[in-house]
Every structure is written in C-alpha cells, then in structure tokens.
C-alpha cells in the first residue's frame, strides 16, 4: 500500500479541489440540504455496489454510536455547513477558513490520538496558512466575516473532528469499511432534511443534477475512500498537512478550465502553501501500514 499512497493522496486533493467549483454550480439549482442529500445518496449507492464484492463486515455493536457521530460530523454537518456558507462566502474567504482544518486536525490529533507535533509540522502549517492567506487576499478585494463565514468555520471544525475520529477506527476496520459506515450513516441523517428532493430532481435541468452526481461519485465516494487509505498509513496531523495544497490545485484548475489566470500575489501564496507542505512533511511522515490490521 505504501507505494500507492502518493497516487491516492493526489487523487483526493484534485477531487476535493474540484468539489468547491461543483458545489457553487449545484447551489444554483438545489438548496444546501438538497444538494448534500442527493450528493451522498449517489455516493452511498456507489459504495453499496462495491461493498458486497469486497466482503464488507458488519460493524461491532459497541462501535455503532461512534460511527453515527462520525457520519453526522464528517458528512451531515460538514456538507450542510459548507453548502450554507458557500451561498454567501467568496472563494478566497472560504479557502482561508476551510484551510484551518490541518491546524485543527493537528491539535485534535495531539490531544486525542497522542500524535506528536513536530517542529517541522508546526512550521510548515504556519507557512502554508500564510500562503493560503495570500491566495485569499489576491482573489478578492475584501474579506468579510458574517454568517456565511461562521458556517464555513463550523464545517472546518466538523471535518477536523471527523479526520481524527476516523483515524482511530483503523486498528479495527479496513479503510473501505470505515468509509462505507460513515458515509451511509451520514446519508441517513441527511435524507429527512431534504423532503422535497424528488420533486426538485424532476423539475431541475439535467446539468446541475449531473454535476451533483459527479460530486457524489468522485469527491464524495472515491476521494473519501482514497483519503481513508492515506489515514490508515499516516497520522491524522501528517496527512491533513497536504490539504493546504487544495486551494493551489483549485487555482490551477480555474486557470486551465476557466481561463482565470491568477495574479502575482495569488501565485506567491500558492508557492508558500506548497513550500509549507514540503516543510511540514520533512521528517514527519510516519508509515504505520505494518501496524494496521490487513484483515
């Protein structure tokens, strides 16, 4: 598995970067709760097709409350809060707020998983966060913190809690099992929040629905599965450091697909964000696949 980790990580980052654009497009036709519910119904259906062939085991009864809480945090709360925030928050501000996740994950991992915060990891996080700040400032003329910003901040906290809680599952569950349990439980909590979804699908043009299906199949199902395999081999704080690269990838996708050429400050911020990732990974990669059960 160690040799495939860079590919899994790159796949996750690219797909999650594309999700920010897809969410903004999907919100033109769907309410935040409808978009989240449809997206994860698609993701759940995809995992239901894959699961039987991979011999997914039933979770232990004692773990059911934890799995439900993780699904509520990482799927239900995170996606609802992010969708609500992206209605009013600009891309630069959202990028800045969401990229507190590596810092929050490192702190929570230290507190609950006894992960060690190395000097390179802390220094790299600060350098990357400064770079993300430059990207945000270069992307918008002013940053305003309002209700939308509060929703995005809540999403960041929920995602950090989810990463740390999911990391604790891997001594007992395979990455695919942990991904299925959390996505399925989070989806079950989302469905009652979107009672008008069937009618909305019927009346909505096919383009936004196709985008939401993409969000479900790739940034939700595939990317979360790839990320869980990364977490199974690295500490939560070490893996989360790479999330600082997401706004840089988003910037590159915007330049390639939309012709949005970034300014000098945005480019400088991107270089700093990537430099921080490289610094944070210096002597901090901890491969634990030999410890994780391969059952």
Contacts 24+ apart (CB under 8 A), 250-258: 250/17, 250/18, 250/20, 250/21, 250/91, 250/95, 251/135, 253/14, 253/17, 253/18, 253/21, 254/21
Average pLDDT of span 262-269:
74
Q: Which residue range forms the structural domain that includes residue 131? A: 2-281
Question: 286 lies in a domain?
Answer: no
pLDDT tier, 2 (very low <50, low <70, confident <90, very high otherwise): low
Is residue 289 domain-resident?
A: no
In a domain, 190, yes or no: yes
Q: Tens of pLDDT along 154-207? A: 988 999 999 999 999 998 999 999 999 999 999 999 999 999 999 999 999 999
Assigned token pair, 8: 């899994």
Convert the pLDDT of each residue in 51-81 to its tens digit: 777 888 999 999 999 999 999 999 999 999 9
pLDDT digits (tens, 9 = 90+) for 243-263: 878 877 877 776 676 566 667
Q: What is the pTM of this model?
A: 0.82
More confident residue, 112 or 135: 112
> What is d(CA 166, CA 66) in angstroms, rounded to the nearest whole number?
9
Confidence of residue 280 (pLDDT cuts 50, 70, 90): low
Per-residue burial over 21-35, b = 16 or more CB atoms within 10 Å of its CB, e = otherwise: bbbebbbebbbbbbb
pLDDT of the residue at 283: 47
Residue 90 forms part of a structural domain: yes
Closest residue by Cα to residue 114 from 262, 286, 242: 286
* Least confident among 10-24, 62-76, 213-227: 10-24
Spell out a b/e string for 207-237, using b for 16 or more CB atoms within 10 Å of the CB, else e: ebbebbbbbbbbbbbbbbbbbbbbbbbbbbb
Dist. CA 190–CA 184, nearest whole Å: 10
Domain count, the chain: 1
294: in domain: no
Q: Is 287 inside any structural domain? A: no
């Amino acid at each position: 598995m160690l040799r495939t980790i860079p590919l899994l990580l790159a796949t996750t980052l690219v797909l999650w970067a594309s999700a920010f654009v897809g969410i903004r497009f999907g919100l033109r036709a769907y309410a935040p709760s409808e978009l989240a519910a449809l997206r994860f119904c698609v993701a759940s259906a995809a995992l239901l097709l894959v699961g039987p062939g991979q011999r997914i085991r039933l979770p232990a009864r004692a773990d059911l409350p934890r799995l439900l809480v993780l699904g509520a945090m990482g799927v239900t709360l995170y996606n609802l809060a992010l969708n609500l925030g992206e209605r009013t928050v600009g891309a630069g501000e959202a990028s800045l707020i969401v990229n507190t996740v590596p810092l929050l994950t490192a702190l929570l991992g230290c507190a609950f998983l006894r992960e060690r915060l190395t000097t390179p990891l802390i220094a790299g996080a600060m350098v990357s966060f400064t770079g993300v700040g430059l990207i945000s400032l270069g992307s918008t003329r002013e940053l305003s913190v309002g209700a939308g910003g509060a929703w995005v901040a809540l999403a960041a906290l929920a995602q950090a809690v989810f990463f740390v809680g999911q990391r604790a599952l891997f001594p007992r569950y395979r990455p695919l099992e942990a991904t299925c349990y959390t996505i399925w439980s989070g989806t079950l909590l989302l469905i009652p929040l979107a009672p008008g979804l069937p009618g909305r699908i019927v009346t909505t043009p096919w383009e936004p629905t196709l985008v939401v299906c993409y969000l479900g199949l790739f940034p939700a199902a595939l990317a979360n599965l790839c990320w869980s395999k990364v977490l199974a081999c690295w500490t939560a704080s070490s893996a989360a450091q790479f999330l600082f690269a997401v706004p840089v990838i988003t910037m590159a996708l915007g330049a390639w697909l939309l012709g949005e050429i970034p300014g000098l400050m945005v480019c400088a911020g991107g270089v700093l964000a990537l430099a921080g990732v490289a610094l944070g990974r210096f002597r901090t990669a901890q491969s634990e696949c030999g410890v994780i059960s391969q059952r």
